[in-house]
Structure 1
Amino acid sequence: MKIIKAVIFDLDGTLLDRETSINIFAEKQYNKYYKSFQHIDKELYISRFIKLDNKGMVWKDKVYQQLVKEFRLMDLTWEELLQDYVNQFRYSSTPFPNLYQMLHSLKKMNIKVGMITNGKKEFQEYNISALEIEEYFEIILISEIVGIKKPNPKIFEQALKHMQVQPNESFFVGDHPENDINAANKVGMKSIWKKHKGITCDSADFVIEDLNEIPIIIKDFLVTN
């Protein structure tokens, strides 16, 4: 019998549609500070912000310092822009389609659900709360809180221990080939890669485009061969 007891998720790019969210936020920020930005084309500001952000791999203090310098913003500091990002990004947080349906399906299957995400405590807590998904998760580990970041195996092991499941009884779902998929595989977990445009991943056990594919995959591991 194949048995899976838990599914652990990444957040950004897996449950949270970060590409859509960051575009919505950048436009809102431009409009909010239009008096300071009016000498800059809106599309230029948005595209430059997204490029410097580098899919979330660069924290925004560096991004805003560069933007202030490049666009010669005289009456707006990078600290003000950063604080606006921390406080307001949550209102642009956009879930991937079928997020809630997928989580509900896993719960109905009595699958334990967890989350491991790299990032800042306050910022990630805001985004998780904005998505209104906390109730589904048995454990949520944010790297700044636990002091460990993916791909360090210890953060995966901590989640598994809390959920009282073995690695081979668990799936990890993520969009990053190294931090999510390869890291989970090394711990002994099965892996599902949330396909991401412009990136390839050959090491995942399964590849999905839609979150609703996950319960279908898991269901196959709950039946007797």
Structure 2
Amino acid sequence: MKKVQALLFDLDNTLMDRDHTFRSFSEQFVQDFLGHLPPEEARKTVEDIIERDADGYRDKDGFFAELSEVLPWQSPVPAEAIRSYYDKNYAGHGAVMKHAVDLLNYCRKRGYVMGLVTNGRKEIQDGKIDLLSLREFFSAIVISGEAGIAKPDPDIYRLALKRLGFSAEQTLFIGDHPVNDIWGAGKAGMTTIWLRRNHAWDDKLDVRPWKIIDELDELKDIL
């Protein structure tokens, strides 16, 4: 690992615990919009929203339009109102991933230059980063909504490397999604570490992670 001088991280379900974040948001959403439901039905509605969200890999406009149509409203709520509520409230539910802050401090003390690459709208992702107090750790942050390129396009990783000031050979990438993170970063020439979360590995992928971890603190021994 002597040649590795920089680390690039994914955000959602890598440094931010998106599972906790979206569940917390969904519970508030049901409480605020569907407070007429009895407790058990409210709980089932939260689970339904989480399932429909597909770990965030849904087009948001389509997702909000679907919620507008299928949820047990007392009075109809349009997709635009759901979008507005999401934009205002979602980031506030952000929770840092277990071991994330300790790991980032560890890497910084050892001289690694660190960056972040994430898909999403700039205002939403910036809100998460600031709520979790993660910005101070990164020399470069690339957000797809601002860059006009989204993972898994290798170009978004090349942009991050350019802003970071290191080559792909000098940089290690850590993320949770087999395609958006590991395949995309691998195609950009980086060595990758896969943090196993909610997505099964696709054996059809022509890129493999160098290492597989289940918790972020495992990265310390690898480095």
Q: What is the TM-score of this pair, normalised by structure 1?
A: 0.90
Aligned to 2:25: 25
Q: 1:141 to 1:37 in 2, by over 3 A?
A: farther
Aligned to 1:103: 104
Q: 1:39 to 1:136 in 2, by over 3 A?
A: closer
Cα distance in structure 1, aligned partners of 2:210 and 2:166? 19
- What is the percentage of aligned positions where both structures have the same residue? 30
Aligned to 2:54: 54
Per-residue deviation, residues 113-147 of structure 1 (Å, max 9, x unmatched)? 00010111111111111111100000000001010
Shift of 1:50: 1.1
**Aligned runs of 1:172-211 on 2, under 5 Å?**
172-197=173-198, 199-200=200-201, 203-211=208-216
**Aligned runs of 1:11-160 on 2, under 5 Å?**
11-35=11-35, 41-71=41-71, 73=73, 74-160=75-161
C-alpha contact (below 8 Å) 1:171/1:190 kept by paired residues: yes
Shift of 1:173: 0.5
C-alpha contact (below 8 Å) 2:9/2:175 kept by paired residues: yes
C-alpha contact (below 8 Å) 2:34/2:72 kept by paired residues: no
Per-residue deviation, residues 43-99 of structure 1 (Å, max 9, x unmatched)? 221122112211101133322221221135324322222211111112211111111
Q: Which amino acid aligns with 2:4?
A: I
C-alpha contact (below 8 Å) 1:36/1:76 kept by paired residues: no
Q: How many residues align?
A: 218
C-alpha contact (below 8 Å) 2:168/2:189 kept by paired residues: yes
Q: 1:140 to 1:198 in 2, by over 3 A?
A: closer
Cα distance in structure 1, aligned partners of 2:151 and 2:52? 22
Cα distance in structure 2, aligned partners of 1:25 and 1:87? 11
Cα distance in structure 2, aligned partners of 1:88 and 1:70? 21
Q: Which amino acid aligns with 2:67?
A: L
Unaligned segments of structure 1, at least 5 residues: 219-225
Per-residue deviation, residues 6-53 of structure 1 (Å, max 9, x unmatched)? 000111111111111111110111112234656991122112211221
Q: Which amino acid aligns with 1:117?
A: T
Cα distance in structure 2, aligned partners of 1:80 and 1:37? 20
C-alpha contact (below 8 Å) 1:118/1:149 kept by paired residues: yes
SS at match of 1:30: helix
Cα distance in structure 2, aligned partners of 1:215 and 1:198? 23
Q: 1:198 to 1:190 in 2, by over 3 A?
A: closer
Q: Which amino acid aligns with 1:81?
A: I
Cα distance in structure 2, aligned partners of 1:207 and 1:173? 10
C-alpha contact (below 8 Å) 2:108/2:137 kept by paired residues: yes
Which protein, 1 or 2, shows the higher relative CO under an 8 Å CA cutoff with sep ≥ 6?
1
Cα distance in structure 2, aligned partners of 1:215 and 1:71? 44
Q: 1:60 to 1:40 in 2, by over 3 A?
A: farther
Q: 1:68 to 1:217 in 2, by over 3 A?
A: same
Q: 1:201 to 1:15 in 2, by over 3 A?
A: farther
Cα distance in structure 1, aligned partners of 2:199 and 2:186? 22
Q: 1:173 to 1:198 in 2, by over 3 A?
A: closer
